[in-house]
Structure 1
Amino acid sequence: MFFKQFYDDNLSQASYLIGCQRTGEAMIIDPIRDLTKYIEVADNEGFAITHAAETHIHADFASGIRDVANKIHANIYVSGEGEDELSYKNMPPQTHFVKHQDTIYVGNIKLEVLHTPGHTPESISLLLTDEGGGSNIPMGLFSGDFIFVGDIGRPDLLEKAVQMKGSTEIGAKQMYQSINNIKNLPDYVQIWPGHGAGSPCGKALGSIPTSTLGYEKISNWAFNATDEATFIETLISNQPEPPHHFAQMKKINQFGTKLYQPYIVSPSLNHDRIAFDLRNKEAFHGGHKQRTINIPYNKNFINQIGWYLDYDKDIDLIGDKATVEHATNTLQLIGFDSVAGYRLPKSEIQTQSICSADMTGEEEYVLDVRNDEEWNQSHLEQAVHISHGKLLNESIPFDKNDKIYVHCQSGVRSSIAVGILEYKGFTNVVNVREGYQNLSID
C-alpha cells in the first residue's frame, strides 16, 4: 500500500493520497481545490486517481472534492449522515453518499465508514485495513476534524459561523458519544488527522503530524474527561472566535462553487478598491500607502485576512509580484478568486509607534483589539474594546482626529488595526508595538 500525507502550512490542513500497488488505483482524502500535487505524486508512483473522499463539510478551506469528480472523473464519497438541511447539495453524478459501517474499496485497500459526529453532524472517519498487504486488522483512521493530535474538533462552528442556535451543545454531546465509541478500537490504530497546530478548528492542536489511538487515550484530554458535563464544559470553553470567512466556506462546500482555475494578477489601475499590504509589520509601519491594511503574508495569513474578506468585492494586494502571486493562490484555497490587481509598496505615511513601557496607562483614547478572553482577564479601565476582526464593520467611538493608542497582546493584531483605522479615516493613530503584555503600569 502507498500512503502520503500532504500538509498545507497556510491552512494548517492535512490531506492524504493512498494507493493500491497491485491494482494501480488511488484515493485522495480531504482534497484542497488545487489538485496539482496529488496528480504529480500519483503520476510519479504509477497510480490512477479513481476515488476521493471527504470526512465532512469543511468550514476553514474550500474543498476540492467536486474538482476531483469533474476534472479527474473519479468516484467521490461523502457523508450521507446528518440532517438533510445541512447535507451536501449539487453534487456530481458519480457521488456516493456513505453511511456508518459502509465499506469502500480502493483496489485491495478497505475503508470502513464510521459516523463520528460532533464537530459537524455529518462527520465521518475512515478506518483503513490493508487487505492487499495480507492484513485483516485496521491500520489507521482518517479522523478528519474528529480527533487531532492532543485535541478534538470544536462543536461550535455551526452556531458561531452559521448562526444555528443551540447546535454547540448538541455537537458537544455527540462528540462525547463519538469519543466513547472510538475507544473500542485497538490502541495500535494510527490517527491521521485533518489539521495540526495553527488551525482554528480546535484550541490546542499538536504540531506532530500523526499519532496513535493508544497515545491519544493516554495524553488527549478528551479521552480522560471524568463525565459528560466536564467534557462538554472543557470542549466548548475558550474556543477561538472563527474568522468571518468560515461562514462562506460552509456555504460553498455544501452547495459548491466554480472549479479551481489559477489566474494571473496584473498591475492595478483602480486604486478605489480595498488593498492589503503583504509586507511584515515593521516594513508597513516604516512607510505605506494611505488607507491600506497590513496583513503580512506568513503562516497566519489566512486566519487574519479571513476576517476582512467580502466575497462579493474585489481586492488589491500590495507587495512584490512573486509574493502577490503566492498570496493569490493561497486565497484561492479558501475559495476567494477576486484579487483584481497588485500594487507596489509606497511610503506615503508612517505609523506612529511607541514602546509599551512608554505608556502611562492614563492615555485618554485607548483601543484594545484583543479577544474577549484576553479582555476579561485584564484591561485598562478607560479602554474601548473591539476585537480586531470586527473593526472593519463596526462603528469606532472616537473622533477622527483623536490621538488613539491601539494595542493588542503582543503587537501583531494592533498592527493590522492601525491600517483599518486609517482606512476608516482616523488620522492620529499610535501603535503600541509591544502590546499589553509589556505594559509597565503601576
Structure 2
Amino acid sequence: MYFKQFFNEQLAQYSYLVGCQKTGEAIIIDPLRDITPYIKAAEQEGLRITHVTETHIHADFASGIREVINMGAQGFVSGHGGKDWTYQDIKASIIHEGDVIKVGNVKLEVLHTPGHTPESISFLLYDNGMNVPMGLFTGDFIFVGDVGRPDLLEEAAGIKNTTETGAKQMFQSLKKMDKLPGFIQIWPGHGAGSACGKSLGAVPMTTLGYERANSWAFQINEEQVFINTLTSEQPEPPYYFAEMKRINRDGVALMHHNIVTPLDEIKERAIDIRPKEVYAENLSDGINIPYNKKFLSFAGWYLDYQKPLQLVGDYETVQKAAHDLKMIGFDNVTTYVDTVNGKSYKTIDPESFKQLDRDKINILDVRTNKEWNESHFKEAVHIHFGKLLKKSVPFNKNEKIYVHCQSGVRSAIAMSILEQQGFTNLININDGYQAIK
C-alpha cells in the first residue's frame, strides 16, 4: 500500500493519497482545489488516481473533489446530510455508514461520525484483505488533542439552533470509537492553526489509544458537561466560512491557473500584501494583510466574493497570494500594483504607552474574544479585527486612538482599515498587549 499525507500551511489542512501498488489505483481523501500535488505524487509512484472522496462539506477551504471527478475519477460523498446539506450538482456515488470503497486491495469502510457537521463521515482503512483496520481518516471529527467544533452551521452558515444538536452528536460519535482498537492511527483533517477547533495539536497524526488517554474530549462522561466544554471559547470563524459552505455544497468552478497582471493605480478594493513594516512607512489604499502563513485566515474576513480585488505587492508574491486565494474559492483577483507613494502612520513603544493616563485616552483592542476575556484594559473598546468593516468604531474620526492587538500583527491590519475609513489620528502600539503587560 502507498500512503502520503499532504499539509497546506496556509489552511493548516491535511489531505491524503492512498494507493494499491499491485493494481496501480489510488484514492484522494479531502483534496484541495489545486490537485497538482496529488497528480505529481501519483505519477512518481506509478499510480492512477481512480477514486476521490471527502469527509464532509468543508467550511474553511474550497474542495477539489469536483476537480478530481472531472479528470475521470469515481467520486464518493456522504449521504447523511439531510436536505440542507446534501451535495448538489456532483457526479458521485452517495455513501452511508457501513459502505465500503475498494481501491485495488485497499478498502475504506464508512463510519457516520456527525458532530462537526451532520453529514460528517470517517473512513477506516484496511490493507490487502486484512480484517484489522490500520487507521481512521477522521476529517474534522477527531484532531490531535481536540475534536471538531459543532457551531459552524450556526455561526458561519446562519442555521439557527444547530450548535447544541451538533455537540450532542459529537458526544455520541466519540462513544462509537469505544468499539475500535486503541492501536489504530488517527489521520485528521487539520492541525494547529485551523479555526475548525480550539486547541488542535501540531503533530500530524496520533493514535486512538493516545487520544483516549490524553484528549480532553475522551475524559468527559457527562453529556451536558461535554456540550458546555465543547461549545465554549471556540475561535471566531472568518466570514468567508459561510461562502465555503455554500460553494462546496453547490459546486465551485473548476480552477484556472491564470497570471495576475500589473496596473499603475488602485482602482478596485485592494489588499496590500507587503510586510506590515513596509506598509507602515508607505501606506496604500489597501487593507494591509502581509503574505505569510496567516494570510488566508486573515484575508478571509474581508473578501467580497461578488466584487473584484486588486493586490499590492511584488510580482512573485502577488502570484502566490492570488493562487492561495483560489484555495478558498476566490477567483476574482484582477490586477496588482507594485509601487505606491503614500504617507506613514504613527507608532508608540510599549514603555511610552505605559506612561500615559489611560483614563484620558482612547484605546481600541482588536484581539479575539478569548484574548479579551482573559485580560484587557478596562478603559479599552473591544472590536475584533476581522469585524472592523462591519461594526461602527465609537470614536470621532479626528480623535487620537491607540490601537493594539496581542503582538502587533493584527493591529497593523486594523490600522489600514481605519485609515481607509477616514480616521486621521491613529497610533499603533508596537508589539501589542503582551509587550505592555
TM-score by length of 2: 0.97
Provide the rounded CA distance (Å) in 1 between the counterparts of 2:275 and 2:201. Answer: 26
Query: 1:211 maps to what in 2?
Result: 206
- Residues 103-122 of structure 1, C-alpha deviation per residue, up to 9 Å, x if partnerless? 11001111100000000000
Provide the rounded CA distance (Å) in 1 between the counterparts of 2:123 and 2:183. Answer: 16
Q: Residues 200 and 242 of structure 1 are in contact (CA less than 8 Å); yes or no, is this contact kept in structure 2?
A: yes
2:301 corresponds to which letter in structure 1? Answer: W
Q: Secondary structure at the match of 1:127?
A: strand
Query: 1:241 maps to what in 2?
Result: 236
Q: Secondary structure at the match of 1:192?
A: strand
Q: How does 1:118-197 map to 2 (within 5 A)?
A: 118-131=115-128, 134-197=129-192
Deviation at 1:269, TM superposition (A): 4.8
Query: 1:403 maps to what in 2?
Result: 400
Query: 2:55 maps to what in 1?
Result: 55
Q: Secondary structure at the match of 1:39?
A: helix
Provide the rounded CA distance (Å) in 1 between the counterparts of 2:19 and 2:155. Answer: 38
Query: 1:69 maps to what in 2?
Result: 69
Q: Residues 150 and 231 of structure 2 are in contact (CA less than 8 Å); yes or no, is this contact kept in structure 1?
A: yes
Provide the rounded CA distance (Å) in 1 between the counterparts of 2:208 and 2:373. Answer: 36
Query: 1:87 maps to what in 2?
Result: 86
Q: How does 1:29-44 map to 2 (within 5 A)?
A: 29-44=29-44
Q: Secondary structure at the match of 1:143?
A: strand
Provide the rounded CA distance (Å) in 2 between the counterparts of 1:65 and 1:382. Answer: 49
Q: How does 1:218-297 map to 2 (within 5 A)?
A: 218-269=213-264, 271-289=266-284, 291-297=285-291
Q: 2:308 aligns with which of 309, 314, 326?
A: 314
Match status 1:432 vs 2:424: no
1:234 corresponds to which letter in structure 2? Answer: T
Deviation at 1:355, TM superposition (A): 1.1
- Residues 200-227 of structure 1, C-alpha deviation per residue, up to 9 Å, x if partnerless? 0011111111111111111111111131
5+ residue gaps, structure 1: none
Deviation at 1:394, TM superposition (A): 2.0
Provide the rounded CA distance (Å) in 1 between the counterparts of 2:202 and 2:10. Answer: 14
Q: Residues 283 and 340 of structure 2 are in contact (CA less than 8 Å); yes or no, is this contact kept in structure 1?
A: yes
Provide the rounded CA distance (Å) in 1 between the counterparts of 2:182 and 2:258. Answer: 46
1:34 corresponds to which letter in structure 2? Answer: D
1:317 corresponds to which letter in structure 2? Answer: L
The share of aligned pairs that are identical, in percent, is: 55
Structure 1's consecutive aligned runs of 4 or more residues displaced over 4 angstroms after TM superposition are none
Deviation at 1:402, TM superposition (A): 1.4
Match status 1:23 vs 2:23: yes
Q: Residues 286 and 347 of structure 1 are in contact (CA less than 8 Å); yes or no, is this contact kept in structure 2?
A: no
Q: How does 1:98-109 map to 2 (within 5 A)?
A: 98-109=95-106
Provide the rounded CA distance (Å) in 1 between the counterparts of 2:402 and 2:237. Answer: 26
Q: Secondary structure at the match of 2:110?
A: strand
Q: 2:336 aligns with which of 333, 336, 342?
A: 342
Query: 1:117 maps to what in 2?
Result: 114
Match status 1:200 vs 2:195: yes
Provide the rounded CA distance (Å) in 2 between the counterparts of 1:46 and 1:349. Answer: 56
Q: Secondary structure at the match of 2:296?
A: helix
Q: Residues 143 and 189 of structure 2 are in contact (CA less than 8 Å); yes or no, is this contact kept in structure 1?
A: yes
Deviation at 1:396, TM superposition (A): 1.9
Q: Residues 103 and 113 of structure 1 are in contact (CA less than 8 Å); yes or no, is this contact kept in structure 2?
A: yes
Would you say how many aligned residue pairs link Structure 1 and Structure 2?
434
Q: Residues 265 and 337 of structure 2 are in contact (CA less than 8 Å); yes or no, is this contact kept in structure 1?
A: no
- Residues 170-217 of structure 1, C-alpha deviation per residue, up to 9 Å, x if partnerless? 000000000011121001111111000100001111111111111111
Provide the rounded CA distance (Å) in 1 between the counterparts of 2:376 and 2:46. Answer: 59
Query: 1:420 maps to what in 2?
Result: 417
2:82 corresponds to which letter in structure 1? Answer: E
Provide the rounded CA distance (Å) in 2 between the counterparts of 1:192 and 1:13. Answer: 11
- Residues 135-158 of structure 1, C-alpha deviation per residue, up to 9 Å, x if partnerless? 221001111000111111000100
- Residues 259-309 of structure 1, C-alpha deviation per residue, up to 9 Å, x if partnerless? 1111110012552312212122222212222x3221011111111010000
Q: Residues 119 and 145 of structure 1 are in contact (CA less than 8 Å); yes or no, is this contact kept in structure 2?
A: yes
**Which shows bigger deviation, 363-372 or 13-22?**
363-372
Query: 2:319 maps to what in 1?
Result: 325
Q: 2:363 aligns with which of 359, 363, 366?
A: 366
Provide the rounded CA distance (Å) in 1 between the counterparts of 2:342 and 2:276. Answer: 16
Provide the rounded CA distance (Å) in 2 between the counterparts of 1:26 and 1:377. Answer: 47
Deviation at 1:437, TM superposition (A): 2.5
Q: How much is the aligned-residue C-alpha RMSD, in angstroms? A: 1.3
Provide the rounded CA distance (Å) in 1 between the counterparts of 2:413 and 2:352. Answer: 21
Deviation at 1:82, TM superposition (A): 2.5
Deviation at 1:376, TM superposition (A): 3.0
1:79 corresponds to which letter in structure 2? Answer: S
- Residues 63-96 of structure 1, C-alpha deviation per residue, up to 9 Å, x if partnerless? 00011111x111100100131111111112xx11
5+ residue gaps, structure 2: none
Deviation at 1:347, TM superposition (A): 4.3
2:138 corresponds to which letter in structure 1? Answer: S
Q: Residues 292 and 422 of structure 1 are in contact (CA less than 8 Å); yes or no, is this contact kept in structure 2?
A: no
Provide the rounded CA distance (Å) in 2 between the counterparts of 1:276 and 1:317. Answer: 5
Q: Residues 288 and 345 of structure 1 are in contact (CA less than 8 Å); yes or no, is this contact kept in structure 2?
A: no
- Residues 10-46 of structure 1, C-alpha deviation per residue, up to 9 Å, x if partnerless? 1100110011111111100001111111111111111
Q: Residues 109 and 128 of structure 1 are in contact (CA less than 8 Å); yes or no, is this contact kept in structure 2?
A: yes
Deviation at 1:400, TM superposition (A): 2.0
Provide the rounded CA distance (Å) in 2 between the counterparts of 1:419 and 1:308. Answer: 12
Q: Secondary structure at the match of 1:183?
A: helix
Q: Residues 235 and 370 of structure 2 are in contact (CA less than 8 Å); yes or no, is this contact kept in structure 1?
A: no
TM-score by length of 1: 0.96
2:155 corresponds to which letter in structure 1? Answer: K
